[in-house]
Homo-oligomer: A and B are copies of this chain.
Amino acid sequence: MLTNAEIKRLKSLREKKYRDEYGQFLAEGEKMVQEALASGFNVLQIIREEPDVMARISSLSTPPPVIAVVEKPAPRPLALERALYLGLDSVRDPGNMGTILRLADWFGISTVFASSDSVEFYNPKVVQSSMGSIFRVNAVYCDLPELCSRFRAMDMPVYGTFLDGVDIYTQQLANEGLIVMGSESFGIGAEVAAQVSTRLHIPSFSKGPGAESLNVATATAVILSEFRRR
Residues of A that sit less than 8 Å from B by CB = 38, 95, 99, 102-103, 105-108, 129, 131-133, 136, 169, 202, 204-215, 217-222, 225-226, 228-229
Contact = CB atoms under 8 A, between A and B. Distances in A.
A221 B214 contact: yes
Contact of A205 (B108, B131, B209, B215): B108
Contact of A108 (B129, B136, B202, B204): B204
Contact of A214 (B106, B210, B226): B106
Contacts of A95: 95
B99 A215 contact: yes
Contact of A136 (B107, B131, B210, B220): B210
20 contacts: A99-B218, A102-B215, A102-B218, A105-B206, A105-B210, A106-B205, A106-B206, A106-B214, A107-B205, A107-B206, A108-B210, A131-B211, A131-B213, A136-B210, A136-B211, A169-B229, A215-B217, A218-B220, A221-B221, A221-B222
Nearest to A207: B108
Contacts of A215: 99, 102, 129, 131, 217
B205 A228 contact: yes
A211 B133 contact: yes
Tell me the number of copies of this protein. 2
A184 to B, nearest CB: 10
Nearest to A106: B211
Contacts of A225: 202, 221-222, 225-226
A141 to B, nearest CB: 22
A230 to B, nearest CB: 9
Given A206-B107, A206-B108, A131 B212 contact: yes
A220 B215 CA distance: 13
Nearest to A107: B205
A214 B98 CA distance: 11
Contacts of A217: 99, 215, 217-218
